Structure 1
Amino acid sequence: MRFLFPSDYFNPKKADAAYSEQVACMQNAGFATSVISLESLGSGSSKIIPVPTPGSKLVYRGWMLSPKDYELLVNVVESTGASVLTSQAKYLATHYLPNWYPLITDLTPETKFYAVNDDLESELNRLGWNKFFIKDYVKSLKTSVGSIINQPSEIKTVVAQMKKFRGTIEGGICVRRLEDFVPETERRYFVLFGKPFAPLPDEEIPEIVFECAKRIKSQFFSVDVIERRDGTKRIVEIGDGQVSDIVGWTAERFSQLWVD
């Protein structure tokens, strides 16, 4: 198993500083690492340094990629005779909310999906909810007006700000129903080859994470769990493990996950 990280913009042979600690921990755990220039993916000149051994399996650890860029990444890996742990289809299975939502509808807030050009204000009026959480297939708006609105008429502003600050809306619009969560209880878990892992070795893993591990067949993904004020555990996000931050984790603990 080899781990592939984004390279530094000014030094294509070195990992981006944001991932330097993970690189060191992976190497200390006995794993090989390489880097790739994400900026040159579309040019056809992107190379993996050092070149992986033919027949080896690569795990990408880096920034979120669009479906097209992830496909380009896979092509570069396969051109060396190596292969990826996560195919493009598997990447999108957990990266895009509409793909994982049908598998766990009873474990996560109710969600509706729309095209950007739909009459969103009318659609929200039909829902009749008190509050709405707005995001695209991948991310929510964390700046400007934010992602939570009380009135359907506010959806136009949120969408406009998403386009402005993110440059694009990926996939479409997801409207999630607000539940009474306790923000400080949110916790990230990883599932690798069907086995859930917690940020701490001896930490108890909620049953809802094991349920996700049964229902979602991807080999490596993250599960974000939060507690409602009535004490119920809920899933707020599923993500492809390769592009999920290790928030709440140490780089050393994350590398140990692969050793285990």
Structure 2
Amino acid sequence: MHILFPSDYFKPSQPDEMYQAQAEAFDNKGIQYSTISLDELSPLSRITPAVSNDVIYRGWMLNEQEYQNLCVSIASSGGTPYISVESYLALHHLPNWYELIADLTPETIILPKDCNLELELKNIGWESYFIKDYVKSLKTSVGSIINEPSQAVTVADEMKKFRGKIEGGFCIRKVENFLPDTEERYFVLDGKVFASEKSQSIPEIVVECASRIASRFFSIDLTETKEGKERVVEVGDGQVSDIVGWSPERFARIFVDG
């Protein structure tokens, strides 16, 4: 196993500052890492030092073309992407995983990015709407949760303005009564589920969710409603999932225990 981090702009052989603690944790566990510049990422982007085995990327979200370029760079350097382009998109784009766990997560309606969003929301007729594209939401001036369909125009315009584009299309998620500060992240590596604390038990809903998804490495976010029901907020590719609630040491450990 080999870990690949985005490089520091001024010190290309070192991981970006955001990932330094993770890199040190992996190094302490005897797991080697390399770096790659994400500036103008291309199939010719250089990996330092070169790799020769399975490679897991740990860095910022990449779009489809960027991830394809990353995989080519890994292969050209002598390594094998641990997560294929197809597997990456299967977890990175919400419509690809939603149907697999539709009964475990809030109801979601997928719409094309060129739709009349205000009209579509009026037709849906919910009391409120959580709006994101295929990848993530944006905290707009009216919020990512709106109550009036007319606010959808502002959400869409600001998503395009501040993110540059709508990736894929719109995902309209039904708002449920989630309790604040109850969200927890789990990681799944080759079918084994890990919690942020080794002694922590794994909820049945997380085990069920993990059993339905074929990816080798992904995250599951779980929360609780005011009614006391556990719900999966979302799943995501593990390579680009933050380690929120985890220590770098615990995160690196799963690659040893797994």
Give the Cα separation in 2 of the matches to 1:129 and 1:20: 44
- Which position in structure 2 is the counterpart of 1:66? 63
TM-score by length of 1: 0.97
For residue 56 of structure 2, what is the amino acid of its counterpart?
Answer: V
CA contact (8 A) 2:50 2:78 kept: no
58-67 or 140-149: bigger deviation: 140-149
Give the Cα separation in 2 of the matches to 1:52 and 1:133: 41
Give the Cα separation in 2 of the matches to 1:138 and 1:183: 22
List alignment gaps of at least 5 residues for structure 2: none
Give matches, 1:75-94, under 5 Å: 75-94=72-91
- Which position in structure 1 is the counterpart of 2:248? 251
**Are 2:169 and 1:161 aligned?**
no
CA contact (8 A) 2:188 2:218 kept: yes
For residue 20 of structure 1, what is the amino acid of its counterpart?
Answer: Q
- Which position in structure 1 is the counterpart of 2:27? 27
- Which position in structure 2 is the counterpart of 1:15? 15
Percent pairwise identity: 54
- Which position in structure 2 is the counterpart of 1:41? 41
For residue 156 of structure 2, what is the amino acid of its counterpart?
Answer: V
Give the Cα separation in 1 of the matches to 2:15 and 2:22: 10
CA contact (8 A) 2:144 2:155 kept: yes
Give the Cα separation in 2 of the matches to 1:191 and 1:33: 20
Out of 210, 215, 219, which is 1:218 matched to?
A: 215
Give the Cα separation in 1 of the matches to 2:14 and 2:140: 31
Give the Cα separation in 1 of the matches to 2:165 and 2:102: 27
Give the Cα separation in 1 of the matches to 2:14 and 2:183: 33
**Are 2:118 and 1:121 aligned?**
yes
For residue 141 of structure 2, what is the amino acid of its counterpart?
Answer: S
- Say which SS state the counterpart of residue 176 (structure 2) adopts: coil
Shift of 1:81: 2.3
| 1:69-91 deviations in Å (ceiling 9; x for gaps) | 00000000111221010000000
Give the Cα separation in 1 of the matches to 2:45 and 2:219: 28
199-208 or 129-138: bigger deviation: 199-208
Shift of 1:120: 1.3
Shift of 1:143: 4.3
| 1:54-113 deviations in Å (ceiling 9; x for gaps) | xx1100000000000000000001112210100000001111100010100000000001
206-215 or 136-145: bigger deviation: 136-145
| 1:201-227 deviations in Å (ceiling 9; x for gaps) | 111111111011110010000000010
- Which position in structure 2 is the counterpart of 1:172? 169
- Which position in structure 2 is the counterpart of 1:104? 101
| 1:200-257 deviations in Å (ceiling 9; x for gaps) | 1111111111011110010000000010111110011110000000000000000001
**Are 2:195 and 1:193 aligned?**
no
Shift of 1:142: 2.3
Shift of 1:133: 0.2
For residue 57 of structure 2, what is the amino acid of its counterpart?
Answer: Y
CA contact (8 A) 2:142 2:151 kept: no
Give the Cα separation in 2 of the matches to 1:162 and 1:145: 12
143-152 or 97-106: bigger deviation: 143-152
CA RMSD of the aligned region, Å? Answer: 0.9
Give the Cα separation in 2 of the matches to 1:47 and 1:161: 35
TM-score by length of 2: 0.98
Give the Cα separation in 2 of the matches to 1:184 and 1:218: 28
- Say which SS state the counterpart of residue 255 (structure 2) adopts: helix
**Are 2:180 and 1:203 aligned?**
no
- Which position in structure 1 is the counterpart of 2:2? 2
- Say which SS state the counterpart of residue 179 (structure 2) adopts: strand
- Which position in structure 2 is the counterpart of 1:52? 51
Q: How many residues align?
A: 257
Shift of 1:144: 2.7
